[in-house]
Amino acid sequence: MQGAGKGTLGKQLSEKYGFQVFETGGELRKLSSEDSELGKKVKSIITAGHLVSNEVVMEIVENFLDHLAPGINILFDGIPRKIEQANSLNALLEKTGREYKAVLIDIKKETALKRLTTRRICAKCKTVYPADYQNATCSACGGELTTRADDNAEAIKTRLSAFENETVPAINLYNDKLIKINGELTIDEVFELAVKTLDPILK
């Protein structure tokens, strides 16, 4: 769920385990500056102001997999968001012979609301800081911290209900492949718990 600390945990885990991170927004930005066929396609969709369809997202994932060195594990950040996407992503991973697990950082709706309305973002490098981060400036680049434009109450409610209506059914698909981690704890505790859970799986 939004506000669970997904971005932070993803970063910590990729540093620890050497995961290659796939994040749709980042891939779209990277591709649209490339001179490849897929890059041009992505750029024209974005320029036209259209949403990138699931079909194109899967093309992007496939392209990402094709360019990966062998033996590298991938962390998909924020995808799949819907049942349709979960089904096509799983099919693609199975087709390419990859094993997968889904990780859910579990938090209560009230916690999500509270965190989303109080977190801040670096104006320069876009790093997100939780409410309990004490400094006024970014620890990575020294930039000024501001609240996110899309973190107003109305927008947050819309995102949380999209999570309940669209993402929860996708999560339920994973059954025994789903790993739930308690996200109500501190950032360090969540990381520790995640490592304890993932260590035996990744070895």
Which residues on adjacent β-strands are paired with residue 76? 22
C-beta of 19: minimal distance to Zn ion in Å? 22
C-beta of 127: minimal distance to Zn ion in Å? 5
Closest CA to 21 of 36, 10, 32, 35: 10
Task: Give me the half-sphere count of Cα atoms (radius 13 Å) on the Cβ side of residue 77.
Answer: 20
Between 145 and 170, CB nearer to Zn ion: 145
Q: Which of residues 130-159 bind Zn ion (CB under 5 A)?
A: 138, 140-141, 143
Whether 5 and 105 have beta carbons less than 8 Å apart is answered as yes
Burial bucket for residue 80 (CB in 10 Å: 0-12, 13-18, 19+): buried
C-beta of 140: minimal distance to Zn ion in Å? 5
Q: How many angstroms separate the CA atoms of 154 and 67, rounded?
A: 40
Counting residues that bind Zn ion (by CB under 5 A) gives: 8
Give the one residue of 125, 153, 162, 178 binding Zn ion; rule: CB under 5 A: 125
Give the one residue of 6, 81, 114, 124 binding Zn ion; rule: CB under 5 A: 124
> What is the per-residue binding string for Zn ion in 18-37, x denoting contact by CB under 5 A?
--------------------
Rg (CA), the chain: 17
C-beta of 186: minimal distance to Zn ion in Å? 22
C-beta of 134: minimal distance to Zn ion in Å? 15
- Give the Å distances, CA to CA, from 174 to 7, 63, 81, 158, 199: 21, 24, 13, 24, 20
Task: Give me the half-sphere count of Cα atoms (radius 13 Å) on the Cβ side of residue 100.
Answer: 22
> Counting contacts by CB under 5 A, is residue 181 touching Zn ion?
no
C-beta of 5: minimal distance to Zn ion in Å? 18
Give the one residue of 121, 122, 171, 181 binding Zn ion; rule: CB under 5 A: 122
> Counting contacts by CB under 5 A, is residue 190 touching Zn ion?
no
Angle between the N-to-C axes of helices 54-66 and 37-47, in degrees from 0 to 180, rounded to the nearest 10: 150
Give the binding range for Zn ion (CB under 5 A) out of 50-58, 89-97, 116-124, 183-191.
116-124
User: Which residues of this chain interact with Zn ion, rule CB under 5 A?
Assistant: 122, 124-125, 127, 138, 140-141, 143
